[in-house]
Structure 1
Amino acid sequence: MGKVLVLGGTRYFGKRLVDLLLQDGVHEVTVATRGTTKAAFDHPVIRRTVDRTDEGSLRSVAAAGPWDVVFDNICYSPGEAEAAIRAFDGHVGRYILTSTLSVYGFGASPLVEEDFDPYTYERKSGDRDDFDYGEGKRQAEAAFFQLAEFPVAAMRIPIVLGPDDYTRRLHFHIERVMKGTPIGMPNPEAAMSFISSAETASFLRWLGGSELRGPINASSEGTITLRSLMELIERETGKPALLQAVTDPGDASPFGVGASWYMDISKARAAGYRFSSLQEWLPDLIRNIAQGRG
């Protein structure tokens, strides 16, 4: 890839991406963040401070290029997207946006890339506080694909799980089962996609080195119902899960979807990427968290 910029690379899969790029030993890697999270890397990395919400700050980082690839893990609104488009115009060879399964909303699964078309979606102006998470990402994609003159790809991912998940969504379920406290889950039979933080980073690195453009789904092979997920947790903890259809908001599962919600990954598979299956990593992750190692 050459000269690479990672916007948001000091925690979770962003940090894993930086580690992978550094291990390659052939890229000049710059990490640009607010500077509030100090992450240690095993190899030299260039660090820059950027205010993602300030166009002038973005322009300063862009001018330090030209960049062969920019990975943007921290764009959540059309305002941020439009600022990046203006800032990096003429300074980037390829732009990779981290997006989400949430752009699809709920509908018939499996969801394919064409189920949300950012090229024709009605664009609106605004910043993070003006949209919910899913709409903010829809609008960011729409801005990039309708306005950017440089090549853009958007990685759409489901919920990311890993021992390094600072949101502790899987931890929430395991800890509540271990304590015997209720979990609000309206539809345990709903099937979902997941992806590990390690594979998210691996896929991003692969996508950055490819020539793919446009939206592309990425998730582990296979789906799992929420009931089966809870059964895995019960098996590892030796305790029953107390699932309730209706609970107080504080007890509601972060995975508490009302219907199946998973994506089709045929496009990425056809382009040559081989995903791991859920069963290759999810049971081990649950076991490690239950045993205090995650």
Structure 2
Amino acid sequence: MRNILVLGGTRFFGKRLVERLLREGDSKVTILTRGRAEDDFGEQVSRLNVDRTDAKALAEAVGDTPWDVVYDNICFSPDEADAAGRIFAGTVKRYILTSSLSVYDPRPEALTEADFDPEVYPLRLGAKEDFNYQEGKRLAETVLLKQDAFPVATVRIPMVLGMDDYTRRLHFHIEHVREGRPLGIPNTQAAISFIRSDEAADFLYWLGFSQLTGPVNACSDGTLTIGEILTIIEAATGKQAVIEAETADEDMSPFGITESWHMDTTKARSAGFPFLALSDWFPELVTQLNASLGNRE
């Protein structure tokens, strides 16, 4: 029986990861959160309620408990990563950091792990508020991959979608098309990667058994352009999207990138993980979300 700690396991793909761990029945699971979001795991999990940005409180909460795997879904700064490196040294066999496509700058070609190398990136410490999201994730990777107390894999995922997406980014587009509101799209031909929330959880679960270390890209197979996304939404809603290059801030698309921004997953696929086909699940998700929005009216 493996002893697993999940930092951030009460919503979205973190919650789905916990569900997957419990379903397989091969792990004793502890979730660590601030305790502000309720969960429905009952006595199936142990809980540590602590703010992970408080290094002293985090150290006291985890103590010297040995962990087979620590999944860190809520690390956003080099200070947080640095504290984790000290706190879990000597107690964890494998550390998995949820990172992001955002560590890369957009470009036309598919991005490989080598396109951002944390091993040579200049290290700076600081809190979450000292950096934008991209730089915070870059530096968190840099800190953890430069330490040698335990092996680390950093999972670079794109936007995560699903019926359970609390950010409602895909909902945003469907609602705008349904209501005839303009959508700010600077480049309809920009291609982007996505991953479904349960697929992200499945990948994290699989990676806990893998020997892969360092950066690992994880996304569904294939890409969609923003224009293709809107075509799928138009088919589901029966309405035409109103697309403008610039709109009021509240109408600018969360997918409104100016250049393509998508990843190559050869490293993970070569190690044996079978990603879902984006073209298979994305239209179905749009249909489901559109139906759910119709039921609320």
The answer to whether the superposition gives a TM-score over 0.5 is yes
Partner residue of 1:36?
Answer: 36
SS of 2:167's equivalent? Answer: coil
Partner residue of 1:126?
Answer: 126
* TM-score, length of structure 1 as denominator length: 0.98
Q: CA deviation at 1:64?
A: 5.1
AA partner of residue 20 (structure 1): R
AA partner of residue 261 (structure 1): W
Q: For the residues of structure 2 that align with 1:61 and 1:144, how far apart are their CA atoms?
A: 20
AA partner of residue 44 (structure 1): Q
* TM-score, length of structure 2 as denominator length: 0.97
Q: Report whether the alignment pairs 1:109 with 2:109.
A: yes
Mapping 1:134-283, distance limit 5 Å: 134-283=134-283
Q: CA deviation at 1:107?
A: 2.4
SS of 1:58's equivalent? Answer: helix
- Structure 1 consecutive aligned stretches of length 4 or more whose deviation exceeds 3 Å: none
Moved more, 200-209 or 59-68: 59-68
Partner residue of 1:55?
Answer: 55
Q: CA deviation at 1:108?
A: 3.8
Percent of aligned pairs sharing the same letter: 53
Encode CA deviations 1:237-283: one digit per residue, 9 max, x unaligned.
00000010011111100000001110000000000000010122111
Q: CA deviation at 1:137?
A: 0.1
Structure 1 portions without partners, runs of 5+: none
Q: For the residues of structure 1 that align with 2:261 and 2:165, how far apart are their CA atoms?
A: 21
SS of 1:209's equivalent? Answer: coil
Mapping 1:84-95, distance limit 5 Å: 84-95=84-95
Q: For the residues of structure 2 that align with 1:80 and 1:59, how far apart are their CA atoms?
A: 12
Change (3 A) 1:43 1:272: farther
AA partner of residue 172 (structure 1): F
Q: For the residues of structure 1 that align with 2:231 and 2:280, how far apart are their CA atoms?
A: 17
Q: CA deviation at 1:74?
A: 0.1
Structure 2 portions without partners, runs of 5+: none
Instruction: Report how many residues are paired.
Output: 294
Q: Is the Cα contact below 8 Å between 1:22 and 1:43 reproduced in 2?
A: no
How well do the aligned residues superpose, as a CA RMSD in angstroms?
1.3
AA partner of residue 181 (structure 1): R
AA partner of residue 59 (structure 2): R
Q: For the residues of structure 1 that align with 2:110 and 2:119, how far apart are their CA atoms?
A: 21
Q: For the residues of structure 2 that align with 1:112 and 1:33, how far apart are their CA atoms?
A: 32
